[in-house]
Amino acid sequence: MKWKALAALVVVCIGLSGCGLAAAPCRIASAGLKIVPVVGHVAAAPTDACAEVIDP
């Protein structure tokens, strides 16, 4: 039974590697911050970097 769980975990990890789904929270936060006038793009820089690291 342990092997089946491990195999399922490996399949899920391979499926999510490089996937935009994993970077979605960073991209959503970035979009929300960019709405703020004047400082929005500066404040969103860290979340943009986060999304680029997860999904280049």
Angle (deg, nearest 10), helices 45-54 and 20-34: 170
**Model confidence pLDDT, tens digit, residues 27-47:** 888 899 999 898 988 999 988
Q: What is the mean pLDDT of residues 48-53?
A: 85
- Tell me which of 54 and 15 has the higher pLDDT: 54
pLDDT greater than 70 at residue 49: yes
The whole-angstrom separation of Cα 21 and Cα 52 is 12
| pLDDT band, residue 13 (cuts 50/70/90) | low
The whole-angstrom separation of Cα 30 and Cα 9 is 29
Q: Which pLDDT belongs to residue 9?
A: 76
The whole-angstrom separation of Cα 26 and Cα 46 is 9
Domain boundaries defined on the chain:
2-54
